[in-house]
Amino acid sequence: MATITLEGNQINTSGDLPVVGSDAPDFSLTTGDLSDASLANYAGKRKLLNIVPSLDTGVCATSTVKFNQAMGDKPNSVALVISADLPFAQGRFCSAEGIENVVSLSMMRNRNFAKDYGVLINDGPLAGICARAVVVLDENNKVIYAQLVPEIVQEPDYEPALAHLS
């Protein structure tokens, strides 16, 4: 279990992020067309997992927009924004913001992704959704970078994450 804060108040997650060097847990998340996606859908690419509480919040929106801008020149990588938002809401956000270089994935069918990655918030007002984190996987799904943002209302560290992509 990890401890983070929400505006200075401590909250706990379900576990810890996968450690650098470990195999990333596979997942089944829901795409915008309501199909399932797993790590196999992005085989052969480096994967940036931008894990956020909800795209309806300013910081989550900002991080998605910034990663979208940065991904345009990284053809061997894919950025995935993962949240508890419904695919329809994710689609509206991406459409309104011109998001073309980030794939949105929803946990609408289950919370196993959040549990497996240790980011499910267990208590406080945001219980049941994800803490803010960034995880980068190599082409073989090994974790090469991981950051659990300690204060949920802060943005992630973009540059270290992006430095692992090509």
The residues assigned a catalytic role are 60
Neighbours of 78 (CB within 10 A): 20
Contact predicate 64/90, CB 8 Å:
no
What is the C-alpha separation between 162 and 112, in angstroms, rounded? 26
Radius of gyration, alpha carbons of the chain: 14
Bridge partner list, 4:
11
Q: What is the dihedral of CA 7, 119, 163, 63, to 10 degrees?
A: -50
* Cα–Cα dist 116/70, whole Å: 27
